Structure 1
Amino acid sequence: MQAFEILSVEGSDDMVAVEGREFSLAADKGVAIAVPFALLFKSEDNVRTKKNAVSIPELAAMIKAEGLINPLCVVAEKVDDKLTGRFGVIAGGRRLAALAYLIEHGEMSPDAVIDCKEYSPDRAVRVSSIENAGQETMHASDQIMQFKKLVDAGLTAAEIAAHHGVSIPTVERRLKLANLAPAIMELFQEDKVGLDQLKALALASDHARQVEVWENLARTGRTSAYHIRAALVEGEVRADERTAVFIGLEAYEAAGGTVRRDLFGTERDVYLQDRPLLEKMVQERLDARADELRADGWKWVEVMESFGYSEKSRFGTVYPTRTKPEGAEAKAIETLDAMIQALRKRFDELESAAAADDEQALDEQDELEAQIELIGDLRATCASHFVQWPVKLLQRAGVVVTLTDAGTVAVHSGLVRPEDMPKAKGSAKVKGGATADGAAKSEYSKALMRDMTAHRTGAVAAALTSNPKVALVALLHKMIQSADRPHISSPVSISVTRTIGRVQSHASDFDAAPAAVVLNTVESSWDARLPKEPAELFRYLLTLEVSELNALLALHIAQSYDVITEDHEMRSQRFAVGDAIEQALNLNMKEWWTPTAGQYLSQVSKAQIAEAVTEACGVNEALPLEKMKKSEAVAAAAAKLDGKGWLPPVLRARAIKSVEVDVEAEDEEQE
């Protein structure tokens, strides 16, 4: 068998013969030879010990398309000073692996003869080092532009993908970058624009727009990919926003809407460009649902953009009568409940993997959410057949139709406007700066008043930490009032006396409250950053951005906030100021406080417990409590109120009114 064939000789004339053939072992520039693939192996003298296995198929595709452009560098193998006829590859290990890949996949014959360049063994390491070190990686701009040149030469994206062993979308993405404005590509070649920034700029097809956005952001110093994308899609609606999900891409495009797709993003990185059209379609669908509900006989039906706790707290609620499903209908609902429970269990099992950004787990969770929503809608439809609204309730109550954050229609039925509510007998009047939806009752003990208002204080403080503007306004308000009307009190202490100790002292179970979690988190993050020594602290503060200073200021203003009181009527002017602050924060205590046994129910009478359950769940749910012992009623009521969002009058949003200042009350509050 012929081991190899000499093609030419370069360099020295020192020749040796193997199997009747002559070649040079001392060649300085190497000898071009052809060697059967089976006689090649990677030499231990090859200085490149690691290879990127992912890149081998791509290299193999290029070799298949264009041939082996650069020969392998080899040395003849010796065992006991005798030539074996095999050759070790000292440079070209990736090419050798790519050739093996082609043979393994049937793209090349195992008997193929490979072009090589043979060197003397004493130069093996040197040649390997020089060849590998001398390979300069192509600049990313050159890699991008080479695809454009291939297209200009007449190749299709599919042909380029086949020749380079990459997917067609990969080719399309590189071509997208290659077609950016020449001025942008020039900056990229000079390493003044990064690849991520380039991908973000590719969201715009217009060269002038690309350059305009880059130059505008460059002047501000905010040239991150995030800021570029934000500038380019300003005013557009991302496909996973609730309005876009509600209408759907297919329906939106069918109506003539245009979209912007990010080739470098996920399937969700699609932007709907015609916001007015989308909003019109949303309104039309919600109006159509409202018309269906009006036909049911409700006193009023209103479409609202949002309907959170603060909006819902302005209404009373009435409840329908419910009949119990039986037989096959009951079995069907039980089956749907079991299906939902199983899906949720699987969803929870995937949480740890999803938290680690496991794509497969995330995709499965998306599918599970869709199934849960679908089955949930079906269950709601089944259950609706066992709900009856008496005519008297329909004549007094109404419905709000809105869009959820998930992009589905939500129907809030049985809402009663304040003017339609029956007048409560013996309701207490609220003097001073605010009135509540149901006045604060004098039956609350002083301790419970301190407890609830301490929770309210903590909630406002927590909300202030994330709203520096409102915190700054509160501070300025206090400073202006202190200068012009020093007798007017405020919930903000200009001396920045921390009130958290008072909150913890009076608010039951505050350490576990959501407000405590927020406050502790924000304070801990700053404590870790701020120096303790005064002069060093001042110098450190000078280095912070204005936005960071505002955030720190918000924390300290929040820690000075205090509306803790025993006064049921809340006569002090500071409560009116507090109401204004809460309104600016859009605060709703339902997000911060729950009527648990310890926080409320065990501290009020059975009559008040029954009143709470009646308001939240209906009179039928409250009737059994009358025959229970106090401890049993507390436990039962806690279960019934869980998740209902019920608040006692002291914690409800109050309507802000202009009042005259009661100086004596002001003085009492400050003592």
Structure 2
Amino acid sequence: MTQLPILVPASKLAPSPSNVRTSSDPTADAQLEANIAERGIIQNLVGLPVSRKKGHYRITAGGRRLGCVHRLIEAGTLAPDYPVPVLVLADANDAIEISLSENFFRLALNPADACRAFQDIIQTEGKSPADVAKRFGLTERFVLGRLRLASLANPIFEALAGGNITLDVASAYVSTSDVERQAVIYAQLHETYYSDNVGEIRRRLASYSYRANDPRALLVGRDVYLAAGGRVDSDLFTDVDTEAWLDTQLVDRLVEERLDDAAAQVRERDGFAEVRVVSATHVPYAETYDLQPLRGELPPLTPEQELRQSEIEQTIDAIEAAAGGHSLSDEEEARLEALEEELGALVDRTPILSEDQRTGAVAFVVIGQDGTPRVHEELFVVPPAEVVDDAPAVEDGVPGRRAGADDRDREGQDQPAPGR
């Protein structure tokens, strides 16, 4: 089969009676229709010429897409002569086999792959979850649910991507944003009878204990934890650094209180527009997907720094030229390493934020490995709302509401709201 697809007006195409698919899913059809309205027909259809009607074809593979096109034409979304790519078969005997092959061997997209794809669209194209939902005919809640999978610990995410666990199991783990807790429970359960028991996974996550040297425990302090009624589990082989703190919910509450106090101090000291707290040692993607990184301006090099940069680059070139492709001595290696480190310090300067940028920034307070609150090194800004001409935009059925605000709350009902 060497022929190429041709473009045929949709008005000259009709579904073939030999198409093996006779039933469909209205929800899936609506999603496909929305995607075609947004992106058009991307993959060609397959059809047979209609006898005694020149230029007309019956579609044997791609009938769902053709039905979506016809409905979009009726709705006025597409023009009546919308061109559809069609691969024309010469032999009618191939029609049923091709229709069966197209439908029988189709593989549904893995949820982890969907998460990566949605992330890629949001990050590379600057789209919002609402934009992604519209493009693919999905609900924003569905898109946000897939994006939440980015908060899975790496072993669990890879297990989902490899088909080793189900979406229900992955969703049970993502009920907490604590990736360390997720990883520990997954390591305990993934090769046991309870590996796919959603209830047991959630119970283990809820009853998980903290070690005394965990950053959260260090932030709270043992005396404060005990004074608040916390319990510890220790034996002959543990000490005050390795004993288990059993009341994890109490620890979480005390951590939030400490971080709230730290956030208030940071806001007053640095004047940020908003300071959000994350009860972890890093900021997960789910907290920042709807924000834009705040980029400052690199300070210019002083004349002395420019001169020193030129001297370092010339010296490095001279050392490498003198080596002539041979190995350097230990002394030369050490000198070259020191020069490259100095050059890196000159080149990788810390960007400077203007006063307007700083006062409009969103900062995150997290827990340092030593248990002290710290401001995350990257600042963000809330992207400006899109201005819509003509009628006011309606998001999720409510005019003027920021898309996905309630959905994020419902989707993350097991977690603190990211905008605390």
With the shorter chain as reference, the TM-score category is: 0.3 to 0.5
Higher helix share goes to which structure?
Answer: 1
TM-score by length of 2: 0.46
Q: TM-score, normalised by structure 1?
A: 0.30
Bigger Cα Rg: 1
